[in-house]
Amino acid sequence: MNQKYFDIVFQGLNDHIIMHSEIKAKVLDRPNTEIYPKIVVTEITNTSKLNLGRMESYSFLGYEIGIYAKNTTINGKAMDAMDIARYLQGVVADYMDYELHMKRAMSDYKDNVDNSLYCIIMRYNANGSDYRSRFF
């Protein structure tokens, strides 16, 4: 089991949002803040797929990306929570799909008790080489 995968996804997504997003969102590993918009990264699967001893070891990996947004003003312009979340969804997809080459298993709107909060959940799967810390 290689726990560096989460760090690669988390730090890489954080750097990607800083460099490529017009809407600045906070990338977190737990959703316990009142900061919006925010992107929460969670590792949901890290299962051994193949282990050849000291020669090679592969894992099946799964990540959940939660995008949370509220209506706000950005650069003097009123923005709707849905528009913010969908924009960030595209930025996240650019990183996860095209830079890490992960397979998107789902991307869906999630109902929320707080109707001022818009939430999109995305799930990604990949295989990884445990000794090389590489996705494939």
CA angle 105, 41, 135 (to 5 degrees): 60
In a domain, 60, yes or no: yes
Q: Which residues contact 112 (CB under 8 A, 6 or more apart)?
A: 118, 119
- Three-state SS at 116: coil
CATH code for the domain of 56: 3.30.2000
Q: What is the mean pLDDT of the chain?
A: 88
Tell me the angle at which helices 4-20 and 81-93 cross, rounded to the nearest 10 degrees: 120
Residue with tokens 């909060």: 117
In a domain, 134, yes or no: no
- Domain containing 41: what range? 4-129
In a domain, 96, yes or no: yes
Q: How confident is the model over 50-75, as a mean pLDDT?
A: 84
Give dist(CA 4, CA 8) in Å, integer: 6
pLDDT in tens, 99-134: 998 999 999 998 777 778 999 999 999 988 765 666
